[in-house]
């Protein structure tokens, strides 16, 4: 929908929008303004439509570029000069995502409370504690001239669109009654720094074992609590690396994490196993669903680039994608690039902390957070030699364990944006691997393939070699627990053209325990990796279609492995009134399909079962936290209890209690008719707007609500919240077939390209995503022109 040039934003429009944004109900606003419901709906539609920028015609600016869009709104950006290409990139992104860009910038820089109020104080406190703004400023100062020039041009494109927009900014600005400031290169780097933290911080993974260590009676119970799932599913196999060094710590552990669904899948299949004789690459990052995708698809052509894929909104460069010669995808490798240190504070001299027998004074700074509707809030940040004291941002259940400081690799000099842009221009698999050498944070598992038929894997990122690595806190006063050296890039896990013809990763174990170096890994369940391996090995010849089917696989291997044990436990109790439930589970195929009653029964039971498992050994105040982190142990306890976690005879009783609670839950939420307890009834995907909880007008900006298949441990990933709503998962999927002619990329986003609620491209890919019906992004101009629906020409002013 194109804006009506005759519509202007009037003062009364601004006033109505401000009232709606303040949380007034639509009924109250209509009554005060004398509007009928019909008049309001017409006015609201006009407000949304008027803010959709035109993607046709010509503009005069400080660059020469063309922006061609297809029916999905995906921009193909053409320019001859580097600066012009990135100017067009920033301009196109601002057209689609200007409010999101400002939201992400504020989130990174600790400024959300200024426009959203006190509900964002916790988020802002994290940013100021980490010093993300200062880290971004330092990174920009160190940046190469080439990367800085590109970032500055990208920023200029964003600012040009802001100027052109005038008063017709995205609707969220008027609802919240503020305007964005000019964009700078620092802002893009700050957004990237916040993403680094999102993917590597995960402090509960350290805090939870520490609490378990303090609570459990003995080492055997602690070891049992740390039980993982499908531990042997490793990316790099034995024999692919040198002999292990002596006197080093554990490579890592497969862990249970309450954030199931926060991960990724990727794999590449060599030509020996494909119909075309050339490689296939598949990748799907798992991150929060939303009405405004965190990913931004684009095709950049010119100045040495011809690359298509998706990047993180606000940051120039394509994290996932392909060019004419190389295709790639990534997953989070989840190797620990941070530690929490227990500090000893001098009781007689507050602010002094023990290190190597001496008391050292912490550096103290303050941060003032502007809060909408109330007085500013001041936060005091103390930093020991290990890093900032983070007592305010660890889980509340661990607040008594402080003072605790954070050492994070993200505070070291980083520049992944330069690395990413070099990846985008790589011509061979070897060049792509070389581009990863400077990568610092996060640790990613990249798979890649080139048009010559080579496939590869590279674990990227800088990993400290830690003494006596274990989950939990480290003694901040002991020099032996400082980081002194890191693993060299050449000795990080990698694979080149494996004889089996495939590579896959799914946040699973990177390497077996005899790998030469400690990776400090805290990897997710190996079940997704297991399913991907099984599906690759089950086909003699793969095509894009078979890979597409793999991405939609919904077998829950956890259920397949544990249903027999669960049935045995239940039949060992007084199960005479569980005949129907037992029969449903017995005949279920383990697939998390929307029409499956067995899927609902198992997932709701398993959530209740983890609470029973946690309650057996932890006090009530810790049960919610510990239950979410005990899925590995809970899986094992459905078949055996070698650690005596439960008192004698209590395991079966606990399983029965969990099943009784499951029946009560489903009866209350769905009804008494068990034939209607299908998974799609309770497991729905909602694309919530970031401000959906701020009032009725914002909830109108959300979309979705369809029942969706999958779960947090299936390949088709849809992790859920305590209400079983799908809140995170495979929100972007891509497939690259190196034999495609013309070359290009197949992909689909769970939301859409535009962040403007009045646009036809707002959440318009959801139905396609549900079916994994992927669109094609060609790299050659002829096919781009054939599919162009809108063309915008930017010409440099003379």
* Whole-number average pLDDT of the chain: 95
pLDDT in tens, 618-633: 999 999 999 999 999 9
What 3-state class would DSSP assign to 620?
helix
Q: Under a CB-based contact definition with an 8 Å cutoff, are residues 79 and 303 in contact?
A: yes
Q: Under a CB-based contact definition with an 8 Å cutoff, are residues 425 and 304 in contact?
A: yes
CA atoms within 13 A on the CB side of 211: 25
pLDDT of residue 305: 99
Residues 6+ apart with CB under 8 A from 240: 495, 498
Q: Which of 434, 401, 400 is nearest to 418 (CA)?
A: 434
Q: Is residue 620 part of a domain?
A: yes
Last residue of a domain, one of 50, 66, 90: 50
Q: Is the pLDDT of residue 538 over 80?
A: yes
Last residue of a domain, one of 376, 394, 410: 410
Q: Which of 446, 488, 438 is nearest to 465 (CA)?
A: 488
Model's pTM, two decimal places? 0.96
Q: Is the pLDDT of residue 105 over 80?
A: yes
What 3-state class would DSSP assign to 483?
coil
Percent of the residues in the chain that have a pLDDT greater than 90, as a whole number: 92
Q: Is residue 643 part of a domain?
A: yes
How many C-beta neighbours within 10 Å does residue 176 have? 23
Q: Transcribe 747-781 into DSSP letters.
A: EEESS-S---TTSTTSSTTHHHHHHT--EEEE-SH
Total structural domains in the chain?
Answer: 3
pLDDT in tens, 277-319: 999 999 999 999 999 999 999 999 999 999 999 999 999 999 9
Q: Transcribe 646-698 into DSSP letters.
A: SPTTHHHHHHHHHHHHHHHHHHHHT-S-GGG--HHHH-EEEE--TTGGG-HHH
Alpha helices in 539-578 (DSSP H): 544-551, 557-571
Mean pLDDT of the region 545-564: 98
**Residue 569 to residue 639: CA distance in whole angstroms:** 8
What 3-state class would DSSP assign to 136?
helix
**Residue 769 to residue 82: CA distance in whole angstroms:** 33
pLDDT of residue 281: 99
Greater pLDDT, 322 or 517: 322
**Residue 56 to residue 314: CA distance in whole angstroms:** 23
**Residue 732 to residue 750: CA distance in whole angstroms:** 6
Q: Is residue 605 part of a domain?
A: yes
- The position carrying tokens 């941060």 is 367
Last residue of a domain, one of 348, 375, 410: 410
Is the preceding peptide bond at 403 cis, omega within 30 degrees of 0?
Answer: yes
- Cross-strand partners of 744: 778
Q: Is the pLDDT of residue 595 over 70?
A: yes
Q: Under a CB-based contact definition with an 8 Å cutoff, are residues 609 and 634 in contact?
A: yes
Instruction: Give residue 643's domain range.
Output: 557-590+595-682
Both structure tokens of 208: 């939870």
Q: Is the pLDDT of residue 468 over 80?
A: no
Q: Is residue 33 part of a domain?
A: yes
**Residue 641 to residue 636: CA distance in whole angstroms:** 7
Percent of the residues in the chain that have a pLDDT greater than 70, as a whole number: 96
pLDDT of residue 520: 86
Strands (E), 275-334: 280-288, 295-302, 305-312, 320-323, 326-332
Q: Under a CB-based contact definition with an 8 Å cutoff, are residues 568 and 585 in contact?
A: no
Q: Under a CB-based contact definition with an 8 Å cutoff, are residues 663 and 608 in contact?
A: no
Mean pLDDT of the region 471-490: 95
pLDDT of residue 685: 98
**Residue 604 to residue 661: CA distance in whole angstroms:** 9
pLDDT in tens, 319-375: 999 999 999 999 999 999 999 999 999 999 999 999 999 999 999 999 999 999 999
Length of the chain: 798
Q: Band of the pLDDT at 64, cuts 50, 70, 90? A: very high
pLDDT of residue 469: 73
**Residue 78 to residue 781: CA distance in whole angstroms:** 10
Q: Under a CB-based contact definition with an 8 Å cutoff, are residues 712 and 260 in contact?
A: yes
Is the preceding peptide bond at 145 cis, omega within 30 degrees of 0?
Answer: no
Q: Is the pLDDT of residue 11 over 70?
A: no
pLDDT of residue 5: 39
Mean pLDDT of the region 430-455: 98
Q: Band of the pLDDT at 247, cuts 50, 70, 90? A: low
pLDDT of residue 377: 98
Q: Is residue 722 part of a domain?
A: no
pLDDT in tens, 177-219: 999 999 999 999 999 999 999 999 999 999 999 999 999 978 9
Q: Band of the pLDDT at 10, cuts 50, 70, 90? A: very low
Q: Band of the pLDDT at 797, cuts 50, 70, 90? A: confident
Residues 6+ apart with CB under 8 A from 412: 440, 441, 462
pLDDT of residue 251: 78
Q: Is the pLDDT of residue 719 over 80?
A: yes
Q: Is residue 9 part of a domain?
A: yes
Phi, psi of 339 (to 5 degrees): -135, 150
Q: List C-alpha distances in Å: 305 to 61, 62, 302, 318.
A: 22, 20, 5, 11
Mean pLDDT of the region 768-786: 99
């Amino acid at each position: 929908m194109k804006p009506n040039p005759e519509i202007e934003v009037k003062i009364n429009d601004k006033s109505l929008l401000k009232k709606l944004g303040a949380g007034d109900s639509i009924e109250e606003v209509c009554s005060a303004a004398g509007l009928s419901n019909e008049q309001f709906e017409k006015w609201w539609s006009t407000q949304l439509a008027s803010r959709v920028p035109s993607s046709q015609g010509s503009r005069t600016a400080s660059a020469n570029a063309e922006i061609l869009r297809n029916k999905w709104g995906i921009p193909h950006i053409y320019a001859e000069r580097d600066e012009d290409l990135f100017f067009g990139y920033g301009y196109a992104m601002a057209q689609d995502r200007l409010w999101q860009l400002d939201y992400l910038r504020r989130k990174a820089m600790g400024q959300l409370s200024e426009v959203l109020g006190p509900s964002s104080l916790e988020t802002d406190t994290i940013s100021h504690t980490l010093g993300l703004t200062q880290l971004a400023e330092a990174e920009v100062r160190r940046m190469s001239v080439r990367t800085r020039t590109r970032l500055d041009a990208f920023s200029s494109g964003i600012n040009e669109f802001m100027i052109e927009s005038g008063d017709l900014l995205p609707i969220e600005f008027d609802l919240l009654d503020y305007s964005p400031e000019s964009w700078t290169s620092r802002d893009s780097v700050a957004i990237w720094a916040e993403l680094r933290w999102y993917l590597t911080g995960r402090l509960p993974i350290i805090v939870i074992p520490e609490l378990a260590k303090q609570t459990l009676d003995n080492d055997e119970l602690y070891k049992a609590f740390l039980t993982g799932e499908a531990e042997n599913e490793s990316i790099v196999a034995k024999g692919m690396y040198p002999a292990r060094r002596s006197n080093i710590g554990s490579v890592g552990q497969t862990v249970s994490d309450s954030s199931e669904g926060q991960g990724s899948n990727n794999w590449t299949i060599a030509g020996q196993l494909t119909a075309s004789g050339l490689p296939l690459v598949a990748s799907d990052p798992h991150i929060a669903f939303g009405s405004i995708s965190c990913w931004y698809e684009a095709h950049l052509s010119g100045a040495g680039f011809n690359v298509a894929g998706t990047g993180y909104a606000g940051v120039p460069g394509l994290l996932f994608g392909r060019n004419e010669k190389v295709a790639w995808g990534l997953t989070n490798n989840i190797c620990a690039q941070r530690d929490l240190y227990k500090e000893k504070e001098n009781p007689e001299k507050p602010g002094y902390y023990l290190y190597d027998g001496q008391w050292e004074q912490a550096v103290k700074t303050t941060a003032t957070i502007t809060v909408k509707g109330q007085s500013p809030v001041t936060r005091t940040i103390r930093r020991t030699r290990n890093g900032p004291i983070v007592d305010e941002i660890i889980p509340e259940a661990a607040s008594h364990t402080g003072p605790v400081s954070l050492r994070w690799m993200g505070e070291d000099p980083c520049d992944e944006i330069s690395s990413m842009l070099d990846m985008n221009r790589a011509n061979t698999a070897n060049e792509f691997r070389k581009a990863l050498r400077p990568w610092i944070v996060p640790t990613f598992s990249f798979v890649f393939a080139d048009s010559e038929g080579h496939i590869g894997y590279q674990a990227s990122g800088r990993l400290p070699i830690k003494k006596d690595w274990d989950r939990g806190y480290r003694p901040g006063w002991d020099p032996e627990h400082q980081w002194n050296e890191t693993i060299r890039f050449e000795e990080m896990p990698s694979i080149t053209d494996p004889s089996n013809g495939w590579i896959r990763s799914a946040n699973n174990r990177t390497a077996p325990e005899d790998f030469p170096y400690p990776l400090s890994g805290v990897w997710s369940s190996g079940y997704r990796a297991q399913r991907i391996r099984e599906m690759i090995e089950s086909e003699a010849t793969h095509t894009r279609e078979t890979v597409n089917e793999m991405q939609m696989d919904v077998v829950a291997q956890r259920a397949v492995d544990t249903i027999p044990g669960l049935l045995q436990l239940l039949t060992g109790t007084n199960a005479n009134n569980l005949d129907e439930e037992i029969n449903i589970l017995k005949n279920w195929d383990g697939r998390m399909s929307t029409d499956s009653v067995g899927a609902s029964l198992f997932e709701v039971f398993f959530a209740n079962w983890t609470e029973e498992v946690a309650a057996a050994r932890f006090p009530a105040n810790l049960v919610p936290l510990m239950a979410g982190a005990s899925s590995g142990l809970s899986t094992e306890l459905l078949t055996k209890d070698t650690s005596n976690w439960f008192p004698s005879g209590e395991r079966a009783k606990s399983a029965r209690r969990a099943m009784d609670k499951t029946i009560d839950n489903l009866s209350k939420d769905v009804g008494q008719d068990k034939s209607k307890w299908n998974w799609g009834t309770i497991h729905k995907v909602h694309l919530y707007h970031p401000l959906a909880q701020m009032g009725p007008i914002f909830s109108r900006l959300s979309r979705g609500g369809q029942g969706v298949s999958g779960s947090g441990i299936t390949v088709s990933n849809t992790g859920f919240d305590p209400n079983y709503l799908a809140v995170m998962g495979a929100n972007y999927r891509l497939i690259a077939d190196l034999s495609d002619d013309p070359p290009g990329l197949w992909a689909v986003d769970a939301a859409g390209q535009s962040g403007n609620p009045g646009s036809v491209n707002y959440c318009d890919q959801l139905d396609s995503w549900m079916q994994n019906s992927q669109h094609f992004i060609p790299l050659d101009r002829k096919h781009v022109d054939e599919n162009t629906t809108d063309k915008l020409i930017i010409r440099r002013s003379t």
